[in-house]
Amino acid sequence: MIRIPLSQSGPADEFAKAVENYRKLCHIHMMGRPGKPAPTAREIVRSLVERRPQAGNPATRGPDEFVILPYEIFDDTPASPELQLLRDSINQGA
């Protein structure tokens, strides 16, 4: 599992859309006409999309697949003293 800090990803739903869009663009590029430039994306997005060749004879196998590697976004926002006090009081009551 690849862990991505929230400070680098931005909102999780927008990040997930960007990763899926890049995966689709890579597939379209691979199936398209030669000579076109490859799609680009932020390094963090590119690192989550992997090209996987199909097994078997290249003459008879299907096209390569682009898959999104498993990842999770974690909140790395520094906690303010007030927020930490609130978290501590909630944890003591649990």
What is the pLDDT at residue 28? Answer: 95
Q: Give the start-to-end residue ranges of the domains of the chain.
A: 2-93
pLDDT of residue 94: 55
Q: How far is CA 70 from the centre of its chain?
A: 8
pTM score, whole prediction = 0.78
Q: CA 87, 88, 91: angle at the middle one, nearest 5?
A: 85
pLDDT tens, per residue, the chain with 94 residues: 999 999 999 999 999 999 999 999 999 999 999 999 999 999 999 999 999 998 888 888 888 999 999 999 998 887 778 877 887 888 776 5
52 forms beta bridges with 65
